[in-house]
Amino acid sequence: MKNLIAHYVFKYNGVTFSYYKGNRGEGLPRHEHTFAHLTFVTSGKTCIRKENIYREMVSHDEPLSLKENEWHEIEILEDNTVFINVSGGDQNA
């Protein structure tokens, strides 16, 4: 999987929003954080892999909560997919 960099990141009232847009085969390879975050798709399709779970997500799906200190990866399955990660607290990890 080709590593994807956030198109933009902004904070609002202590919450960080990371906006990603990419194409099939791009994403965020296996990693983990010391903080939890939500992930949701606004267009296109992704898959989330984490601790023995595989879930495909599209825009009408509920956000997925990813726990702190739990490995996960996000892979884009369709071109021009947009997903957003939302987190609060300390994100220096």
Q: Please report whether residue 93 resides in a domain.
A: no
Q: Please report whether residue 63 resides in a domain.
A: yes
Q: Please report whether residue 44 resides in a domain.
A: yes
Q: Please report whether residue 60 resides in a domain.
A: yes
Residue range 17-35: mean pLDDT, rounded: 96
The CATH number for 31's domain is: 2.60.120.10
Using the structure block, give the residue that is written with the tokens 């906006």. Answer: 19
Task: Please tell me the total count of domains within the chain.
Answer: 1
Q: Please report whether residue 50 resides in a domain.
A: yes
Q: Please report whether residue 67 resides in a domain.
A: yes
Q: What is the pLDDT of residues 43-93, one digit of tens each?
A: 999 999 998 899 999 999 999 999 999 999 999 999 999 999 999 865 544
The reply to whether the predicted model has a pTM over 0.85 is: yes
CB distance 37 to 66 below 8 Å: yes
Ramachandran quadrant class, 34 (left: phi over 0; alpha: psi -120 to 50; beta: rest): alpha
Domain that holds residue 82: 2-88
CB distance 29 to 73 below 8 Å: yes
Give the whole-angstrom CA distance, residue 56 versus residue 61: 9
